[in-house]
Amino acid sequence: MAEKIYRVNMTTLTVSAEDVPREWAALGGRGLTSTIVAKEVKPDCHPLGKYNKLVFAPGMLTGTACANSGRLSAGGKSPLTGTIKESNAGGSAAQCLARLGVKAIIIEGLPQKDSFYSLHVDKNGITIAEETELIGKGNYAVIKAVRKRRGDKVGVLSIGPAGEMKMALANISVRDPEGNMRSHGRGGMGALMGSKKIKYISIDDAGAPGVAIADPEKFKEASRVFAKCLLDHPVTGQGLKTYGTNILVNILHEAGGLPTQNFRTGRFDGHDKISGETMHDTIVERGGKPSHGCHAGCIIQCSQVYNNKKGAYLTSGFEYETIWGFGAGCCIDDLDAIAQADHMMDDIGIDTIESAVTVGVAMEAGIIAFGDGKGMLGLLKEIGKGSHLGRLLGAGAAALGKAYGLTRVPVVKGQGIPAYDPRSVKGMGITYATSTMGADHTAGYSTATNILKVGGFVDPLKKEGQVELSRNLQIATALIDSTGLCLFVAFAVLDKPEAFNAIVDMVNAKYGSSITGDDGIALGKSVLKLERAFNTEAGFTKTHDRLPEFFEELCPPHNVVWDFTNKEIDSFWDF
């Protein structure tokens, strides 16, 4: 069965299946969502209005046996930033969609009635049903109910109360194989799904045709090489499995790049209490799972299941950036409080990074004190309730900062800056400034080369080489985000040329094509450029490629400042 583009019209409540246009045939993931958004969405439209579209697309390799290829891209105009947005997530939805031959789902229009709906995708296509029972419910309840309705293997994409309320920090949750959650976290895509009045999408791949592979033998061989590269690399084969991403707390603390107390310093006294090492021991002690994959076929296994003191499940997919944000960022040295926050945020359906940065700004505003873990949980509760305070917070860090007249508001293009201080991990600063989607560490993870010495070394405290580093990483990331591969494969790819070649070989084996590595790089470049072009039409200029003024302040312990000239930053786009 040939792949199809499904178009869901929420105004007429109808679905159509279209053949895949030739120019989209070789695209997937971010490359496809950004292409569709750039072509079909009015760049100056209101993100929550009828002209915006929500596009889901599995990656080019998703649904195959390739390791770590189960990522799903969600695209649209961001309700948080107003830029183009692609947010990708693990979980089981992407693989179900790919096996069903769903190249992309394009959700458009707004319902005429004030009701919520659900979508169901299976081998017969997509159906729309009105939803009442689950409205107002958290994601855990939604996933549980949908499993009950549709069976235990069903993939689920859902929004919590925050998405229903169209809050700019709302995310889209994705069921993982065990029934917990991963997220399309950043950019407020949950608000976009909420504006379309879709509470959840269930995906049943029973009887699915599966993914066609033009040259199965060649694919198998390349896939084997690729998996071996991942397993052999110290970061993807060992580090991430043992400590998860949270291995970074101590590393960034040591490097002086762990943003502490709303970006006042680069080291946090309480780092030991929230570190990956402490977390690992705590998980083991309480009978949780220190390593765990977010989708079938993941061999990196950076996720984990974190139990509470009584040994019962508390949260999973508990990431460094979340722990940094509430830990160092908000000066809360209590891992259990942060785990509880992670559970609440998954349930309410809000991005943990934007939420953490927002709580840091709330502390800056004096709403609660730095270090107040109980107060922090109280704020998250308000977001879930949609109280006045919750609405203040739910619009994100930039909006909260404006409401309180603050200047120490760590955002770029309206999106909160994550867990790496741009003054002391300067390559990240270039990524935050220039990313087409606002401050986003995953857009070009210069930390790899600045701090982890993967793919060489560029001194994090010096300007030299950072623009080029971020540019190369952003181009490569745009490509990886298009393949459906987890971004963490980049650690192996940066150090092992054969890993990159294996990806190219798998793509060729799947599509019967003969692209080269250079073609892949060209694709990465073209994705960045079409995203940039959308943003230009949406009203963004180089003036938005800037970090907040307060990064002129010294960041201890290295006492460095953000010292790039505008010209240096703007040279990022010279390609």
Nearest approach in angstroms of CB 113 to a copy of itself is: 16
Cis before residue 422, ω within 30 degrees of 0? Answer: no
Asked if 402 interacts with a copy of itself (CB under 8 A), we say: yes
Min separation Cβ 81 and a copy of itself, Å: 11
Among 404, 553, 558, 571, binds a copy of itself (CB under 8 A): 404
Its sign, for the CA torsion 542, 543, 549, 552, is positive
Q: Which stretch binds a copy of itself (CB under 8 A): 62-70, 188-196, 267-275, 495-503?
A: 188-196
The smaller minimum CB distance to a copy of itself, of residues 286 and 391, is found at 391
Q: Is position 197 an interface residue for a copy of itself (rule: CB under 8 A)? A: no
Task: Out of 395, 469, 479, 489, name the contact with a copy of itself by CB under 8 A.
Answer: 395
Map the footprint of a copy of itself across residues 520-549, applying CB under 8 A. 536-541, 543-544, 546, 548-549
For residue 387 the two structure tokens come to 């109280």
Which residue is listed with tokens 């404006």? 402
Token pair belonging to 205: 């791949």
Using the minimum distance from each CB to a copy of itself, give the nearer residue, 205 or 364: 364
- Per CB under 8 A, which of residues 366..385 are in contact with a copy of itself? 367
Distance of CA 9 to the CA centre of its chain: 26
Residues 217-256 that bind a copy of itself (CB under 8 A): none
Long-range own/partner contacts, residues 304-309 (CB < 8 A, 24 or more apart): 304/244, 304/279, 305/178, 305/180, 306/279, 306/282, 306/339, 306/342, 307/283, 308/336, 308/339, 308/340, 309/336
Binds a copy of itself by CB under 8 A, chosen from 4, 166, 182, 241: 166
Q: Scanning residues 6 to 45, which ones bind a copy of itself (CB under 8 A)? A: 43-45
- Whole-angstrom distance, CA of residue 317 vs CA of residue 486: 14
SS (H, E, C) 103-138: EEEEEECCCCCCCEEEEEEECCEEEEEEECCCCCCC
Neighbouring CB atoms inside 10 A of 541's CB total 8
Provide the token pair at 292. 């765990």
Residue in 28, 194, 429, 455 binding a copy of itself, rule: CB under 8 A = 194
CB atoms within 10 A of CB 517: 13
Query: Considering only 1-9, 257-265, 389-397, 497-505, which stretch makes contact with a copy of itself by CB under 8 A?
Result: 389-397
Shortest distance (Å) from residue 145 CB to a copy of itself? 24
- Cα end-to-end span (Å), the chain: 39
Is 565 a residue that touches a copy of itself (CB under 8 A)? no
Among the listed residues 309, 403, 497, 557, the single contact to a copy of itself using CB under 8 A: 403
- What's the min distance (Å) between Cβ of 388 and a copy of itself? 4
Write down the least CB distance from residue 430 to a copy of itself, Å.
Answer: 17
DSSP 508: H
- Alpha-carbon distance of 375 to 362, in angstroms, equals 11
The residues that touch a copy of itself, with contacts defined as CB under 8 A, are 43-46, 48-51, 79, 165-168, 191, 194-195, 367, 387-389, 391-392, 394-395, 399, 402-407, 536-541, 543-544, 546, 548-550
